[in-house]
């Protein structure tokens, strides 16, 4: 019995080896019989268009990865393997990487900070400090950020530029700036205006319920040297 079992196992091994070599030989013939084709350039295409172009030359497509890319719109291919122009056998699968677009970050609040700390805040948020404009201010000390061109809390692309306006201190002699009267009593505004020969117009005098200013025109820190009157709204 043992002799027959060994013989049976030997026959199975011979058949297995023969099948292996025969299979490889057949597959080799099939691969060699496939036509060659040139890989098209699918970088800059979306998946649908890329699949269409690759199928037309007998190639397949596989999405290999999705990555953030500041320079390529979301859903667009930015890398392929094999590269465009390579000669391959029909049936070759081309691997592609898809852009997830620019990575988004939140803009910090820079108002009230010095230029140095504003720069640090932006760098910590992977953003870039851009143009620094200067403006006279009666309310904000020299060198302090008055405003920013992208509102704090906004979501923008990583490494975007944020511009700021910085106080240049009090205006020079002979230049009159509008104070910030919001939340103050109308009496204070009247005294200020009387001292400077400016008239005050109460825009909603008939409907106001308090003497507290809730709106003003011009806005604070605007040059009103040549103005003869200002408008105030009471809450």
The string of pLDDT tens digits covering residues 23-32 is: 666 555 555 5
Summarize the chain as % helix, strand, coil (round to 5).
25, 30, 40
Average pLDDT, the chain: 88
Any domain includes 74: yes
Q: Cβ atoms within 10 A of the Cβ of 213, count? A: 22
| pLDDT more than 90, % of the chain | 72
Is 130 inside a domain boundary? yes
**Both tokens of residue 93?**
């699968």
**Do 63 and 91 sit in the same domain of this protein?**
yes
Provide the pLDDT confidence category of residue 102 given band limits of 50, 70 and 90: confident
Say whether pLDDT at 10 is over 80: no
Share of the chain above pLDDT 70, in %: 84
Boundaries of domain holding 221: 186-234
**Residues 6+ positions from 129 with CB-CB distance below 8 Å:** 115, 118, 119, 122, 123, 161, 162, 164
- In degrees and rounded to multiples of 5, residue 106 shows phi and psi of -100, 140
Task: Tell me phi and psi for residue 231, to 5 degrees.
Answer: -110, 135
Asked whether the bond before 82 is cis by omega within 30 degrees of 0, the reply is yes
Mean pLDDT of 204-219: 85
Mean pLDDT calculated for residue range 140-145? 95
Tokens of 18: 């023969």
pLDDT at site 71: 87
Among 199, 230, 226, 204, which residue's Cα sits nearest to residue 216? Answer: 230
CATH of the domain at 92: 3.30.10.20
CA distance 59 to 92: 5
Residue 44 backbone class (left: φ over 0; alpha: ψ -120 to 50; beta: rest)? left
Whether 137 maps to a domain, the answer reads yes
Final residue before a domain boundary, out of 102, 132, 147: 102
Mean pLDDT on 101-129: 96
Mean predicted confidence (pLDDT) in 2-14: 64
Domain count, the chain: 3
Contact 224, 230 (CB under 8 A): yes
Indicate whether 134 pLDDT > 80.
yes
Whether residue 12 is contained in a domain is answered as no
Cα dihedral across residues 166, 167, 171, 176: positive or negative: positive
Check residue 23 and give its pLDDT: 60
Instruction: Give the residue-averaged pLDDT of 41-70.
Output: 94
CB 152 within 8 A of CB 109: yes
- Report if residue 4 sits inside a domain: no
Q: Is residue 202 part of a domain?
A: yes
Q: Is the model more confident about 103 or about 119?
A: 119
Highest-pLDDT range among 11-25, 107-121, 168-182? 107-121
Q: Are both 87 and 120 inside the same structural domain? A: no
d(CA 77, CA 65): 10
Alpha helices in the chain (DSSP H): 2-33, 47-56, 115-124, 186-195
């Amino acid at each position: 019995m043992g002799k027959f079992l060994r013989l049976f196992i030997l026959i199975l091994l011979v058949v297995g080896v023969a099948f292996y070599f025969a299979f490889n030989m057949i597959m080799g013939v099939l691969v060699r019989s496939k036509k060659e084709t040139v890989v098209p350039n699918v970088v800059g295409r979306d998946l649908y268009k890329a699949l269409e172009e690759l199928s037309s030359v007998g190639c397949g497509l596989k999405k290999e990865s999705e990555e953030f890319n500041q320079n390529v719109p979301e859903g667009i291919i930015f890398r392929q393997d094999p590269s465009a122009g390579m000669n391959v056998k029909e049936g070759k699968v081309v691997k592609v990487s898809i852009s997830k677009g620019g990575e988004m970050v939140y803009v910090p609040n820079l108002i009230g900070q010095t230029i140095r700390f504003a720069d640090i805040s932006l760098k910590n948020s992977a953003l870039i400090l851009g143009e620094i404009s200067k403006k006279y201010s009666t309310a904000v000390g020299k060198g302090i950020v008055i405003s920013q061109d992208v509102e704090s809390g906004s979501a923008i692309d990583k490494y975007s530029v944020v511009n700021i306006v910085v106080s240049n201190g009090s205006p020079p002699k002979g230049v009159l700036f509008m104070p910030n009267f919001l939340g103050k009593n109308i009496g204070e505004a009247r005294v200020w205006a009387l001292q400077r020969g400016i008239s005050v117009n109460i825009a909603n005098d008939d409907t106001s319920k308090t003497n507290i200013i809730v709106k003003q025109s011009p806005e604070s820190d605007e040059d009103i040297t040549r103005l003869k009157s200002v408008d105030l709204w009471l809450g």
